[in-house]
Every structure is written in C-alpha cells, then in structure tokens.
C-alpha cells in the first residue's frame, strides 16, 4: 500500500485536475449556448434555400448553370471541418476517420485534395500529401477566431471558382452535424456539383416558381450565395458540435476524477487508520516490555 504522503499528493493533483475540467465544462457550456443559437436560427433558412436551389437547378439547362455540371469525377476537393483544439472526445478523430473512409472507398483511385477548416484535421493529414493550402486561405485556424459569413465565404468562393475552372470535378464537405450536446452526426455533403431535386414531390413543386429577376441574375447572384450559405451552415454546425462534445468530455472527466478522488480518499483513510493502529500497538508493546 502506498504511503500517506503519496496518496495525499495524488488526491491534491486530482483535485486540481477536477477544477480545470469543471472550468472547461462551464466555458464550453457558455460557448455552446451562443453557437447553438446561431445554428438554430440559420438551419431552417439554409435547409429551405438548399431545397429551392435543387429545384431551380432542375429547371436550368447545363449551359445556364455551370455549378450543376456533371463531369467524370477524376479530381475531388474535400473540405474537412474540425476544431483548433483537442479535449473534445472523438470529435476530431471522427472527421479524420470519415475522410479516410472516403479515400479508401468511393474516392479510391481518384486525385483527392483536402482543404482544411480547423487546425486538427490539418495536423492529421499534414504528412499525407493531399493537403491543399491556397495562399490566401493558408491560416486554417483563424476562421474560428472570426466566425462570420464573409470569412467562411472565402473558402466557398475558392471551391466554386476551382469547380468552374475544372480544377475539381466534385467538392465534398465533411463535418459534424449538431444533434445534441452528447451526439454529433458525421456528414459528407456534396457541395458541387449541385444535385437537382429528383423526388416526385419536389418535381411537382418546381412549376410553382416564378423567376424574378431573370434566370441569369439568379445564376450569377443567388446560386453562389446559396452555396456559400451551405458551407457556412456546416461550419456553424461543426462549431456547436465541438462545444457540445467538449462539454460532454469534460463532464465525464470531472465525474471520473471525482470517483477516483473518492477511492483515493478511502484508501488514504484506511492507510491512516492502519498507521495509527500500528503506532498504538507499538506503544502498548513498549509499555508491556517496560512492565515486564
């Protein structure tokens, strides 16, 4: 059994760790509230815009909408969204696993490049030879310091320009979709080319659209903004998921530290009781020897 000083030092160390994990949990909870408000307000609008975008694309000729051009997929851009920091459970590892699954599955044999949003996914693939870091987008960690639509739009604009220039035939976004603080759903969403609506229900609704202004203006203005909005939604989803995952991870870490501290306290009390008992026995034994 460890001596009393060693056990006491471990209890002190674990108590300090508990204070840190509890503080991190509270910070993440506060950040989650703001992030959740942002994605909750944006999600209905973004989903409806995506639905309309698919319907409108189905009414346009290929010559009118280059963003829906279906080509033989040879070159693929993956936009991987992770966090800048760890201590959030499997949040970042799940993104890395999903990208690796795509590389070994549907995208096997294709020329794939990765554009990272967030430091962790960049670190995971920095030696893999697939990272694409355009000079004006090289600071992948800075986006979460200023999480705005304008900042995220730079990444979407690069993807759209590269697709039109036929540098990439397909653009896929991999991110964590927020469900609740304990559950995040890994998504691999095709950003480009735009997938036209094919369901019968959507097809019946297509004829209800009246184009105002002209189709040309819709293509030049609304469709690019819609694509930027889809990427912005993915980043906000990932941001909320990160704080939820970190809050959950820190909550579990605090609970584990509490349980370990209780076990060590019990061990300390037993060791202290044994030490006191031994001292009493030694005193009694010494007194008996003197009396003898």
The DSSP secondary-structure symbol of 222 reads I
Helices of type H across 60-118: 91-104
| Distance, CA of 21 to CA of 89 (rounded, Å) | 13
Other residues' Cβ atoms within 10 Å of the Cβ of residue 220: 10
Distance between CA 67 and CA 198 in Å, rounded? 17
**DSSP secondary structure letter of residue 137:** G
User: Strand 111-117 relative to strand 170-180: parallel, antiparallel, unpaired?
Assistant: unpaired
Please give the structure tokens belonging to residue 204.
């019946």
Q: Which residues contact 42 (CB under 8 A, 6 or more apart)?
A: 229, 232, 233, 236
Relative orientation angle of helices 223-291 and 149-164, to the nearest 10 degrees: 120
d(CA 199, CA 68): 17
Cα–Cα distance, 204 to 252 (Å, whole number) = 49
Q: Which residues are catalytic?
A: 88
Angle formed at CA 41 by CA 38 and CA 42, multiple of 5 degrees: 85
Query: In the structure encoding, which two tokens stand for residue 272, read together?
Result: 């202290």
């Amino acid at each position: 059994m460890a001596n009393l000083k060693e056990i006491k030092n471990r209890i002190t160390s674990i108590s300090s760790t508990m204070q840190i994990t509890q503080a991190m949990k509270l910070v993440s909870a506060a950040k989650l509230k703001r992030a959740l408000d942002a994605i909750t307000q944006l999600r209905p609008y973004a989903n409806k815009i995506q639905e309309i975008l698919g319907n409108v694309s189905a009414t346009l000729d290929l010559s009118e909408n280059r963003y829906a051009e279906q080509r033989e997929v040879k070159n693929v851009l993956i936009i991987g969204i992770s966090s800048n920091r760890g201590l959030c459970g499997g949040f970042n590892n799940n993104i890395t696993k999903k990208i690796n699954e795509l590389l070994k599955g549907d995208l096997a044999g294709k020329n794939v490049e990765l554009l990272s949003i967030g430091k962790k996914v960049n670190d995971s693939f920095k030696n893999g030879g697939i990272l694409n870091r355009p000079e004006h987008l090289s600071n992948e960690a800075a986006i979460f310091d200023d999480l705005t639509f304008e900042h995220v739009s730079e990444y979407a604009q690069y993807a759209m320009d590269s697709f039109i220039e036929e540098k990439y035939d397909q653009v896929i976004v991999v991110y964590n979709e927020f469900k609740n603080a304990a559950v995040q759903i890994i998504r691999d969403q095709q950003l480009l080319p735009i997938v036209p609506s094919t369901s019968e229900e959507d097809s019946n609704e297509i004829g209800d659209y009246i184009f105002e202004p002209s189709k040309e203006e819709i293509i030049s203005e609304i469709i690019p903004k819609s694509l930027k909005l889809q990427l912005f939604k993915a980043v906000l989803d990932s941001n909320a998921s990160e704080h939820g995952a970190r809050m959950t991870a820190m909550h579990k870490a605090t609970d584990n530290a509490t349980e370990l501290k209780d076990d060590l306290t019990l061990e300390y009390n037993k060791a202290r009781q044994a030490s006191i008992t031994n001292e009493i026995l030694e005193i009694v034994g010494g007194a008996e020897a003197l009396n003898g």
